[in-house]
Structure 1
Amino acid sequence: MPPKKVVEEKKVLLGRPGNSLKSGIVGLANVGKSTLFQSITKCSLGNPANFPYATIDPEEARVIVPDARYDWLVDHYKPKSQVPANLTIYDIAGLTRGSSTGAGLGNAFLSHIRAVDAIFQVVRCFDDAEIIHVEGDVNPVRDLEIISDELRLKDIEFVEKAKENISKLTRRGGQSLEMKKLKEEEACIDKILAHLKDGKEVRKNDWSPKEVEVINPLLLLTAKPVVYMINLSEKDYLRQKNKYLPKVMEWIKTNSPGDPILPISVSFEERLASMTDAEAAEECKTLNTKSALPKAIVTMRQALNLASFFTTGTDEVRQWTIRKNTKAPAAAGVIHTDFEKTFIQCIVYNYDVLKEYGDEKSVQAAGKVLTKGKEYVVEDGDILLIKAGAAKA
């Protein structure tokens, strides 16, 4: 008998499935969050105040995602309209010790974190007597532990509430399929709760697809991907050396292995943001350095498992955002919801192929233009032409 075919269990991602995902800038008070937001978005919130809770409501901005492929396509087609990909970023007010129990304005801040899909966590690694620290002194490892504990404690509260709600249903008993499903969900909630009470974050575990389906609707804070932004003084950023950095790296490696770590100087980025693009480029050249912000945006997109496809032509070059492993009809739906329902097929070739051959005619002549159906998984950098039927009235 032929060997039984092993069906590979499809990995389900933690988090919401949409393409319009949001990132929040999070940290303790006075670590450089609002200044980073101003620099990353070139938006002004006024002068960030030198005390906790300077930013009470999260501020929102969209930033353009730097992508050399998009720049090349715009230069190649010289279209009438050009639309790059963007990332939505929120500036969320500073956490303090006790936020999980509502200290200060903690509950409001934690609900704002709950509403985003990923976290830029800013960690202060600079000394400045003029910028007070909410804990009294600069100690980044302690700050990391405070934020980790506050988010985890709030998640325990969320999960205990979910446990209470589902227990009311399972106590009725019975042998129905619905009751079986509820009991499986309750067992999963017990497992999540034990994981959190053991001092671990939800994103740091290998959950099964069924378990992920239970986790995602809970919108847990510790399930969100994190990019650590290590805020250095300009001097330390330029010399790539900092007295706090070894202990910070050790803490992240132990407690959040695999999470991206980006050294940045928010004061340097603020200075660059006040210049014209030409002046900023000249300053970076003089100092033999570069802004960390483009890398931060690209890293966050990767942490969110986002990819891009393009639609091109002389009328418009546009970069569309999708989650990785998205099939062609769902990708078409990002352009217009009707296209997903009426999808017939797509004509596809990748940006790398176009760049190699130089133009569409050469790509076609080389037999590199493919026609794909509903099961095609769109690859990062694909250039698509969607064919869809007429939408039903």
Structure 2
Amino acid sequence: MASPDYYETLGVSKDASQDEIKKAYRKLSRKYHPDIAGPEFEDKFKEVNNAYDVLSDPDKRRMYDMGADPNNPNAGAQGFSGGFGDIFNDLFGAFGGGGASMGPIPRTQKGSDGKITMTVSLRTCVFGGTEQTQVSAYQVCPDCHGTGCECDTKPVTCPDCKGSGSVQRVTNTLLGQMMSTSPCPKCEGHGTVIEKPCGTCHGHGRVRSRRTISIKVPAGVDNDTCIRLNGQGSVGEGGGPAGDLYVYIRVVDDDNFTREGDDLHCWLRVPLTWAALGYKTSVDTLDGKKEIAIPAGSQTGSTIELKGLGSAQLRDSSKRGDLVIHIVVDTPTDLTPEQRKLLEKFAKQRKDASYTPELASEVKLPRTQGKGFFGRIKDALR
């Protein structure tokens, strides 16, 4: 069987750098991961992982470029496919030495890593917490406990290869008898045969199932923060050790607050009189109710900063950003006749009729990242 083209599998050239190989692997592993693309892409996902396993290791890559596949347990016996390795082994076979063998392939293999996305609230991002989520991954078969055999049975020694995992073939050539070594087709190189496979896992020692896990979310996480959980991925063939699970965070939009870095922002509508005369009130924050003082003469766009009431920093949860409150002055639209007269008297005393409006290319108000200030106000009030 010809060795697979690992460069073609990853879609890179044979002189690709390690960075190019790593970038191609990350893209394809996400594309074909069974939890994202579906269980039918599991074989393709394995091909991508096998290719990266070889090409990311300088020694394995050098061996592969010379014609031997490191992922083939009999690579040492087969040597370079179609090259001098076969001739060298065959010559030893011709003199009665026999072909070399790397031994049987273990049935127990390490499992693959998993990737999931978990949705959390802004409060969890700020303070941290423990969240529960469901994971679909391979688990040890509950009936055979990873052996792959029916209850009270065990794998038996392969009658064809006598447990070596490989068989030798003798052919007559002009140089005499040549001997070559290849994986045993009956036991697939394992050296043992499962005569009575487990009816639940069909001899694989693992089954795919969904389970609920608890994840400790550190304070300060944000969108696309990745949490690595050791040994929480899929169990390997034959009940082998599980891979790791990578949890990517997605933050739900909050109704009252937005986050920019470690700071939180919110918008507070206040009456015209509060803004003009000043006022003390309380607002709900993620830390509970807090008293604030609206300064006299506040305008739409004025801000009040509450130090240390923002999000915790991911690298140092003892440090927190600020809570920035943006003032939005609410202009009254339903004045009574008496209220209108009072405002007219107020305007007359201030001589507002003589006020000259001034044009400007833009309103010089604080801006937040992304949308303009008024755009954010519209979104918040919509």
Using structure 1 for the length normalisation, give the TM-score.
Answer: 0.21
Question: Larger strand proportion, structure 1 or 2?
Answer: 2
Structure with more contact order per residue of length (Cα contacts < 8 Å, sep ≥ 6): 1
Question: Larger helix proportion, structure 1 or 2?
Answer: 1
Using structure 2 for the length normalisation, give the TM-score.
Answer: 0.21
